[in-house]
Structure 1
Amino acid sequence: MTFPALNHVAVTVRDVDVSGPWYRRLFGADPIADEHDDAAGYRHQVWLIAGGTLFGIHQHDSPAPDEKFSEHRVGLDHVGFGCASRAELQEWVTRLDELGIEHGGVVDADYGCGLSFRDPDGIALEFFALPG
């Protein structure tokens, strides 16, 4: 039995009205869904990104703790977006600079190279390319 591909990722944000426009700029697109589910107690926005993966941001009706995201707590470490090559990562360096998004530059390793950055709540994001 083949393990299925990743279908979607949803991260909790403090304020959809802050994070939504930030992700709109990053993805270069409007979300395909922007809903407030009173029964479930949250609002979410969802984007369809390359490869058919859905990426969502959720704001729950009960307020999030007043703290930044930390990959040092149990749970999510980071979200990685696949790139075809190191050259594509360099294009993302230029794009993040244009958007005013701080990043750590392209970092090379034996297993590939990555470009790390954070969203408004400090959630760790990365563009990553396998070697070759």
Structure 2
Amino acid sequence: MYKIAGHHHISMITKSANKNNHFYRHVLGLRRVKLTVNQDDASMYHLFFGDKTGSPGTELSFFEIPPAGKTHRGTNAITRIGLLVPSEDSLHYWQSRLDENGVAHSGVVTYAGRPALKFEDPEGLRLVLLAANSEKVAHWETWLKSEVPAEHQIQGMGPVEITVRRLEKLANTLTDLFGYTTVHYSEDEAIFQSIKGEPFGEIIVKYLDGPTERPGRGSIHHLAIRAKNEEELAFWEEKVRGRGFHTSGIIDRFYFKSLYFRESNGILFEIATDGPGFAIDGDVEHLGEKLDLPPFLEERRAEIEAHLSPIEENE
């Protein structure tokens, strides 16, 4: 039986690639590991931020949609992203850093049983820093050129919060289909882990009735979970189809292969392979410094570049 190894990446909507780029690089200290375009609509940027190489489990990705309006919050949506930092001392560092950058926050609180610091990005995307209480998350690679000291750097994705009307439906998908472990269950909230005891593959499901969220800037488009390789991905495609869900089929995204499906509440999941990774078309030292295009879009480079507004240069 194959095992989901945790989160792969998570994808959001931004209205401004420039403002987004500034916040995630210069405030949160992440590396921009890939500057590319949405492969399904090459008129929009697709930015990836993460650790030194954009390791699976560290990637935050954003589609730039300049006309994006306000998000009308509601249910049946992915509603918060957890980001892991090494310790409670790191949370105090981040409290000061957010203050210095004019970012409102909760102060140190408890979230999902861990010391935490809640805040939002400039577009209202809900985030929470959590103390991992470990010196280093295994799959994270230090980015030495970050503006954040190595001992306090964000080490990738932690718990992802999903809010739904039918909690039991999503619970069954996570446990029966993907083999997640239930670590807490009540009628209002449940917590599941892909690797028992590890926060980096955790999903928090909250019950909420009411209108469905209407996405806009700062909303979360989908969550991708990890498959080791294409063989595992084919296995999961068969399992997902066998469950009665419609899938996109396996799609070659060049940097990884993936498939998409919506579970019973309408939450969009992606299952993505670990490789080949973002260094397939560039060297590690210069990741994210220029516009990279997958081979099938390369012949359209001049046309694509002509329609994209410049993003600040790497410093």
TM over 0.5: yes
Matches within 5 A, 1:86-105: 86-105=88-107
Gaps of 5+ in 2: 135-315
**Structure 2: distance between partners of 1:114 and 1:29:** 19
Structure 2 match to 1:44:
46
Structure 1 match to 2:209:
none
**Structure 2: distance between partners of 1:83 and 1:36:** 29
**Change over 3 Å in CA distance of 1:101–1:69 after alignment to 2:** farther
Task: Give yes or no for contact 1:107–1:114 (8 Å, CA) kept in 2.
Answer: yes
**Structure 1: distance between partners of 2:72 and 2:51:** 23
**Change over 3 Å in CA distance of 1:3–1:38 after alignment to 2:** closer
Q: Are residues 1:114 and 2:119 paired? A: no
- AA at the equivalent of 1:89: L
- AA at the equivalent of 2:4: F
Q: CA deviation at 1:110?
A: 7.5
The alignment of Structure 1 onto Structure 2 pairs a total of residues equal to 129
**Change over 3 Å in CA distance of 1:84–1:69 after alignment to 2:** farther
Matches within 5 A, 1:40-79: 40-41=41-42, 42-49=44-51, 52=55, 53-60=58-65, 63-64=67-68, 66-68=69-71, 70=73, 72-79=74-81
Task: Give yes or no for contact 2:16–2:65 (8 Å, CA) kept in 1.
Answer: no
Task: Give yes or no for contact 1:111–1:130 (8 Å, CA) kept in 2.
Answer: no
**Change over 3 Å in CA distance of 1:38–1:55 after alignment to 2:** closer
Q: CA deviation at 1:117?
A: 0.6
**Change over 3 Å in CA distance of 1:48–1:39 after alignment to 2:** same
**Structure 1: distance between partners of 2:75 and 2:128:** 18
Q: CA deviation at 1:90?
A: 0.9
- AA at the equivalent of 2:127: L
**Change over 3 Å in CA distance of 1:69–1:127 after alignment to 2:** farther
**Structure 2: distance between partners of 1:122 and 1:89:** 20
Task: Give yes or no for contact 1:78–1:124 (8 Å, CA) kept in 2.
Answer: yes
Structure 2 match to 1:25:
26
Q: CA deviation at 1:30?
A: 4.6
**Structure 2: distance between partners of 1:108 and 1:78:** 15
**Structure 2: distance between partners of 1:110 and 1:48:** 23
Q: SS of the counterpart of 1:45?
A: strand
Instruction: Compute the TM-score of the two structures, normalised by the length of structure 1.
Output: 0.80
**Structure 2: distance between partners of 1:83 and 1:17:** 25
Q: SS of the counterpart of 1:34?
A: strand
Q: SS of the counterpart of 1:7?
A: strand
Rg: which structure is higher? Answer: 2
Task: Give yes or no for contact 1:83–1:127 (8 Å, CA) kept in 2.
Answer: yes
- AA at the equivalent of 1:60: I
Instruction: Compute the TM-score of the two structures, normalised by the length of structure 2.
Output: 0.37
Q: SS of the counterpart of 1:4?
A: coil
RMSD: 2.7
Of all paired residues, the percent bearing the same amino acid is 22
Q: CA deviation at 1:69?
A: 6.1
